[in-house]
Chains A and B, each alone.
Chain A
Amino acid sequence: MIRKEINRISEVGKALISVEGNPGVALNHVVELLEAGTNQSLSFAKAINITEDSTRFQVFNGTQGLSTQTKIRMHEVPLTAGFSYNMLGRSFDGIGDVADGGPEIIFDKYVSTRLDTLNPTVRLVPKQPLWTGIPMIDVFNTLVKSQKIPIFAGPTEPYNRLLSQIAQGAQADVIIFAGIGLKFDEYHYFKEQLSQSGNIDKTIMFTHLAGDSQIKGLMLPDVALSVSREFADQGKDVLVLLTDMTNWSNILRNVANYQDQIPSLQGYPGSLYSELAKRYEVAADIEGAGSITIIGATTLESLEDPVPDNTGYITEGQFFLDNGKLKLARSLSRLKQQVNDTTRDDHRPIMTAMASLLADAEKAYEAAEVGAANDTFSQKLLRYREDFIANMEEPFGEPIELEAALDKCWDILKRHFEPTETGLSKKLIEQYWN
């Protein structure tokens, strides 16, 4: 098939190029850039803005070295992602090309990367817990199959270690690793961890390293999620690890700025919420098919930053990592109510009671800083707080089963309080206090 070609690029910017006139390309369709003379393929690009006077493209491999004479060849299809079971155990880049130096893959099929919305009526209400062996998650913020939940953490926190710990114990058929803007050592770390835990054969890695072409990073979640979706449509339970979505949002911001879009907050485009939601909403438990669970990482300086703020409104809770501890106060699993009433009868009440006491303890802690926590109960609260942080908020260590974790909760309460001080009902106190 002879494809239509254009011979003149009128504008080359950062990540974007334009041609004059309208070569007949359709929105979001892919073109190939070829070196003039040799016809060597330089990159693919996607049409993002079309008028009768000019057409603008996002260039996947970056624009360095492109000349005004670079040829553009039409492909007349939107970007698709290759799909095959042979992808398991392999690494790919942001547009789904092999990136581990291994042999090319013969794909079974190509899937759309448009991420159409799943019809809500075919979603199942999530009801299956995913146990992690981490008490702060299992007891206080139970994770549920098909949940979408990020880890919020400062850039220096061990969020990737936590992500990988959760992935290792995960009850999933397929793990899709989607890394955007990673440092090489982070990529290497994940690969090592997944190999050591014996999960590498059910894992597909899509990786974009810091410094790689921005557009490839921008496309990566769509490619990784489209492949995930195909596995789920075929009945698999898929776990997607998205790290780090702040990097992705920053690429989105850069590209929006190259396109002269009016920024809303801190330079991010007004569409940041919708763009993040489009990706996270792929998580679903699908009637008559499999499921997709998404655990992300969002690095932040402050919770009020636009990326964590918008993410919090989209995802079904968040795990908040601070000083290496999984903090109870700002962590939340919105789906926990779906599963924590069928565990042990003290599960919900003790969760609420301990949280409420911890909130009081935080107040006492602040008071103590100005020397105002001098009464007996405040002293109890302070000791409780220390105990809680050391024994409950520690995410790393030997996995603990739920029942043992609940017993541990009672032990902590008993160490510090009288039964009436806990706010727990008489019935539960009688049952579990001694």
Chain B
Amino acid sequence: MNNNTTRTGKLISIQDSLVKARFYGNAIMGETANVIVDGKSLQAEVLQIIPDPKNSDAGIVEMQVFEDLTGAQIGDQVEFTGKSLSVLLGPGLLTSIWDGLQNPLYKLGEQNAYLVPGMKAPALDEEKLWEFTPSVAVGDKVNGGDAIGTVPEGRLTHSILVPFNFGKCKVESIIEKSEVNITETVAVISDSQNTKHELKLAFRWAVKSPIPFKDRAIPSKTISTGVRVIDLLAPVSYGGTVGNPGPFGAGKTVLQHSLCKYALADIIIMAACGERAGEAVEVFKDFAELEDPSTGDSLMNRMCIFGNTSSMPVAAREASVFIALTVGEYYRYQGYNVVLLADSTSRWAQALRERSGRQGDIPGPEAFPMDIPDQIKGMYQRAGADQGTGGSLTFIGTVSPAGGNFQEPVTQATMDATGSFWGLSQDRADAKKYPAIDPLSYTSSVYDSFISWDDRNKMLQTLYEANGIDQTISTIGLKKVPVEKYVLYQKGLTIDFCVMQQNAFHKLDACTRPERLIVINEAVQKLIDSTINFAQDDKEDEEVKEMVKAKFDELRQWWKDWNLSAQSIDEMAVLPKKVEQFIFQEEYTL
């Protein structure tokens, strides 16, 4: 390929965001191109190359354009770049807020309050100085992925890496410890062909080429998310994958925000993919004032946000998730635990659907592309733990199933692709139970919890049985249910009400850490294992049941208050004692 002359083409067809252009010479599948409309340069990506039926010397490329094409005409110039869609990786990624193509939104906001097609700004701050400390010397051998030095980024140490596609290289020169910006050369290395390459603090990486693992491992360390039902019954480990489907209004957003605030991780990346702008704004405006649970810093210091919100161009939606994934992989390679929240993968899939529809592909179920399950699996596969670097990338994707129906293609493919699954239920949401994760249906996890598998199964079993009795009560009435079954039902209700549900907006109840979970589990297991000595005297069964209900109501109210108030170790320790006394039906004054 000759780099000295720009390869160009001319538009011959325009339909929404899909265009066709005629070119002479060469075109590369997947390369990006600029479409020049009214003097503005709009970014596009080549999707397909086909012969030109009218002209055997020419070819036709089919491209999706990432911005609104109003004003585009037949004959408008297309300039091919030869490079595939890429992301700029380097210091300054954290705390940033971009659109789906890594244009920084605050910088664009200085140009115009609205996102007008053709606006651009450098992805990372080019002025900011970073204190670079070299870690290699002239003559050292380095490989792709090796660090040549570090810069401090907030409280993290950001390693400056040799791009991953480099082979064996030799350091020809490297600067002393000094302050540099991302456009300055910090080192020169030569490859086996003796070609010299300048290295800077930042480099570009193609978003559809996964950054390699050093030594991939099975995710094994449980993440404390602070959400009890997750950490007890449907946990996720560092490097794991989670699908989180739910009909609208079931609480996906509140849950995502809760994870942003409380999940223990070094870095949280949010890909706001086709969702409400207001929700992303709440994160970067309000969360900046909140504290990071592990460091006490501003929460925004551990975050970066890619916002391709629902009114932004659909074509850029697919890119936004891949860009976010690549940034996650980059920090994983540096040894950090990264959690990526993608909200929502359904919008990503819909973007693929719109595109394939315009391209005239034969549609699969619900008009999604036939290969959507493979694309979804491929995306989740990029998450994982790396024992070579000690880092991990955890991928939590929300799914927005049409009609709340979990049988639809994206939800099904996601269930197949993920290790943990948090199904939100409409019924629980309607009853204003938060989180509406239903432990009994569409919720599962292959990862270890903070409690033993035995305890986990017993807890689930009790909830199952209580649910069964609940169904019996609703169909044949309470009278026909024996007292001991009714007690079991009340136990299940208590676990559900006091443990599975929590208040996302209460400072203490919103987040439960492992040490507290252990105490809660002790109490729960006691409650499950023991028969309770209710004084039956000569009462009728119905009277006994009423008494049982009243006693349990009292316990639940006490437990709920404990959730909202117990803080110290001593205060926490009261819960198992209280349950013990409840079991023996002693008078208690705790």
Contact = CB atoms under 8 A, between A and B. Distances in A.
B497 A116 contact: no
B66 to A, nearest CB: 13
A261 interface: yes
Contacts of B474: 363, 366-367, 370, 372
Which of A282, A341, A420, A423 counts the most B-chain CB atoms under 10 A from its CB?
A420
A144 to B, nearest CB: 10
A356 B432 CA distance: 6
Contacts of A278: 310-311
Given A115-B311, A265-B402, A50 B14 contact: yes
Contacts of A310: 402
A326 to B, nearest CB: 15
Interface in A240-289: 261-265, 269-271, 273-274, 277-278, 281-282, 284, 286, 289
Contacts of B112: 119
A49 B105 contact: no
Contacts of B560: 423, 425
B478 A378 contact: yes
Interface stretch (B113-121, B176-184, B223-231, B526-534): B113-121
Contacts of A426: 557, 561
B138 to A, nearest CB: 44
A106 interface: no
Interface in B3-24: 12-16, 20
A297 interface: no
A96 B556 CA distance: 60
B12 A359 contact: no
A22 B350 CA distance: 31
Contact of B115 (A116, A270, A289, A373): A116
Contacts of B281: 120-121, 123-125
A44 to B, nearest CB: 16
A100 to B, nearest CB: 30
B351 to A, nearest CB: 8
B253 A421 contact: no
B353 A270 contact: yes
Contact of B105 (A119, A370, A374, A418): A119
Given A264-B367, A375-B477, A421-B553, A52 B402 contact: no
A52 B13 CA distance: 6
B249 A374 contact: no
B564 A313 contact: no
Interface in A38-62: 48-52
A240 B91 CA distance: 43
Nearest to B474: A367
Interface in B100-122: 105-106, 108-109, 112-117
Contact of A420 (B253, B285, B542, B553): B553
Contacts of A424: 557
Contacts of B357: 261-262, 264, 269-270
A27 interface: yes
Interface stretch (B158-166, B191-199, B272-280, B386-394): B272-280
Nearest to A278: B311
B258 to A, nearest CB: 12
B277 A118 contact: yes
Contacts of A314: 276, 310
A355 interface: yes
Interface in A108-134: 114-126
B70 interface: yes
Contact of B311 (A117, A265, A337): A117
A384 B14 CA distance: 60
Nearest to B486: A375
Contact of B473 (A352, A367, A421): A367
A158 interface: no
Interface stretch (A193-201, A328-336, A392-400): A328-336
Interface string B114-135: 1111000000000000000000
B430 interface: yes
Contacts of B367: 262-265, 270
B554 interface: yes
Contacts of B332: none
Contacts of B363: 262
Contacts of B542: 375
A20 interface: no
Contacts of B284: 120-121
Contact of A374 (B73, B106, B312, B479): B479
A377 interface: yes
A211 interface: no
Contact of A28 (B71, B116, B360): B71
Interface stretch (B207-215, B370-378, B544-552): B544-552
Contacts of B15: 48-50
B109 A121 contact: yes
A123 B278 contact: yes
A372 B542 CA distance: 14
A370 B311 contact: no
Contacts of A25: 73
B540 to A, nearest CB: 12
B296 interface: no
Contact of B286 (A29, A125, A273, A351): A125
A114 B561 contact: no
Given A29-B71, A116-B114, A120-B281, A367 B477 contact: yes
B309 A27 contact: no
Contacts of A348: 505
Given A304-B404, A316-B278, A355-B432, A420 B554 contact: yes
Interface string A342-377: 000000100110011001100100110011111111
Which of B112, B276, B549 counts the most A-chain CB atoms under 10 A from its CB?
B276
B347 interface: yes
Nearest to B427: A359
B309 A117 contact: yes
A370 B276 CA distance: 43
Contacts of A155: none
A313 B248 contact: yes
A89 interface: no
B490 to A, nearest CB: 12
Interface of B: 12-16, 20, 68-74, 97, 105-106, 108-109, 112-117, 247-249, 253, 274, 276-278, 280-282, 284-286, 307, 309-312, 314, 347, 350, 353-354, 357, 360, 363, 366-367, 400, 402-405, 430-433, 473-479, 497, 503, 505, 542, 545-546, 549-550, 553-554, 556-557, 560-561, 564
Given A330-B430, A359-B432, 8 more contacts: A50-B15, A265-B367, A274-B274, A306-B403, A363-B474, A367-B475, A377-B549, A425-B560
30 contacts: A27-B69, A28-B70, A50-B14, A52-B12, A114-B70, A116-B68, A116-B115, A117-B115, A118-B114, A120-B97, A120-B281, A121-B284, A124-B281, A125-B285, A262-B357, A264-B366, A270-B354, A274-B274, A274-B354, A278-B311, A282-B311, A304-B402, A312-B249, A329-B431, A334-B253, A356-B431, A374-B478, A375-B545, A418-B550, A425-B560
